[in-house]
Chain A
Amino acid sequence: MTQLKRTPLYNEHLKLGAKIVEFGGFEMPVQYKGIIEEHNTVRKFAGLFDVSHMGEIEITGPGAKEFIQKLITNNIEKIEPGKIIYSPICYENGGTVDDLLIYCFDWEHFWMVVNASNTEKDWQWIVRHKENEDVQLKNISDDIGQLALQGPRSQEILQLLTPLDLSSIKYYRFQEGEVAGCHCIISRTGYTGEDGFELYTKSNDVITLWQQLLTSGEKFGLAPIGLGARDTLRFEAGLPLYGHELSPEITPLEAGLGIFVDLKSGKEFIGRDVLLRQKEEGLKRKKVGLEMIERGIPREGYQVYKGEREIGFVTSGSFCPTLGKNLAMALIEIGEAQIDNEVSVMIRNRPCKAMVTKIPFYSTK
């Protein structure tokens, strides 16, 4: 087993009384005060997350844009300098390598921000598909720290520490500037279903940034948030998590990410043929939401039944603090995917009634 990594904030987490767990090859805080309290803090006020474990891959050169298009299922033409797009990347068979964000600094300078657990795999995959010298690749994951500031009070908190006018940064856009004296990429993105920002800075600066944000955000109710609440927040917001809703065995179409798979423009990308066929022939299974009718918490891997017939499995499931309900995302046969369809989730060898419901479970809109 390889040595677990730590982010620059590891000691800060210990000082704050965090419970530490392994995640994506890192020792990360799963909670400080408690998952439910932290979850509610983000929905009501704001929360600060250490997400420095995420990977960053820099892609530069005159061929960068075309190269990225070859890898991603989304259309690179949607991007422009200062803009971000979300996209899955696929294997030839349509299974998912990862889902990631692409940042465009200029037409010859991009970042891919990838899941921590996939950084090495993605890096190998990307390097393998580099064909010529007009593209340069660099894995800068260890040099970059990342914080996520999420929740309705995020802008007010961040505005105290930066001269940039944050109201001018729209959703899925970014600017570079100073925050608490640290040079940052300030990105209006997140993984909680709330408004907020993700800040990238040099690893050396991330401790200063973390401490300054926590201090100035305190009066707004800002608190540090662990990965436990990060998961319940993203789950309520219906956002996929690689290894759960997406995997080498699950295509982005099955995961309900069709709007991020561009099959119309005719642009070629790895996996396109299989995904196009899957779309034309019709999906056999689909991601749905499930709400428990009977008592019980659906968990990842639990089987879903219609009567005596197994129709799929739970990809993520949890008690949802904001909604007070036990919910799941599940991959089930398309013929059973209609809203309000009554199915059952096998919990400890007992079928428990559940109902197909829409995703997201929670939305600020």
Chain B
Amino acid sequence: MYPKNLKYTKEHEWVDLETKKVGITYFAQESLGDVVFVELPEIGTELEVGDTIGVVESVKAVSDIYAPVSGKVVAVNEELLDSPELINQDPYGKGWIIEMEITGGEDELLDAAEYQKLVEEEK
């Protein structure tokens, strides 16, 4: 549920430092339930760690997504606009949200084991 090659935040985002893609974790989508709406940032947006990237909405909940690292948005997953359910179906694959050019902030990220521990505590 929490791939070892990814890094995580306490706010339940993941970032792949290889592909520079960002999304929300299995735990996050499970807590939200059926995702029915996604709001994406504009390409070129400069982000600091913790800035709001966009919004994910399920039937019942509205949840902000935060930048796990600093950098620039270089791509957004436009498939989510018509198929937001990809976030539920494949949170680490087809459900990616943005791709970034990373300029910093990687040091604060959690590894899979640390994140898993955090999730266990939140349950």
Check: B111 CB closer than 8 A to any chain A CB. no
Please pick, from A35, A37, A297, A321, the residue contacting B57 in the complex, using a CB distance under 8 A. A297
Interface-side segment among B3-11, B33-41, B66-74: B33-41
Contact flags A312-354 to B (C-beta < 8 A → 1, else 0): 0000001101000010000000000000000000001000000
Closest-CB distance, B21 to chain A (whole angstroms): 23
Q: Is A232 an interface residue (CB 8 A)?
A: yes
Nearest chain A CB to B23 CB, angstrom units:
19
Chain B contact residues, majority secondary structure: strand
Residue A296 is within 8 A (CB to CB) of chain B in the complex: yes
Among B53-87, those with CB < 8 Å from A are 55, 57-60, 62, 81
Main secondary structure of the interface of A (DSSP, over half): mixed
Interface membership of A36, Cβ < 8 A: yes
Q: Is there contact, CB below 8 Å, between A30 and B60?
A: yes
Inter-chain contacts of B33 with A (CB < 8 A): 19, 31, 34-35, 228
By a CB distance below 8 angstroms, the chain B residues around A37 are 34
Query: Once the chains bind, are A348 and B55 in contact (CB under 8 Å)?
Result: yes
* B59 CB contact (under 8 Å) in A36, A295, A296, A348: A36
Question: Which A residues touch B34, using CB under 8 A?
Answer: 34-37
Minimum C-beta distance from A350 to chain B (A): 10
Interface residues as binary, A30-44 with B (CB distance below 8 Å gives 1, 0 otherwise):
110011110000000
Chain B residues proximal to chain A, CB less than 8 Å: 33-34, 36-37, 39, 55, 57-60, 62, 81
- Partner-B contacts on A (CB < 8 A): 19, 30-31, 34-37, 228, 232, 295-297, 299, 318-319, 321, 326, 348
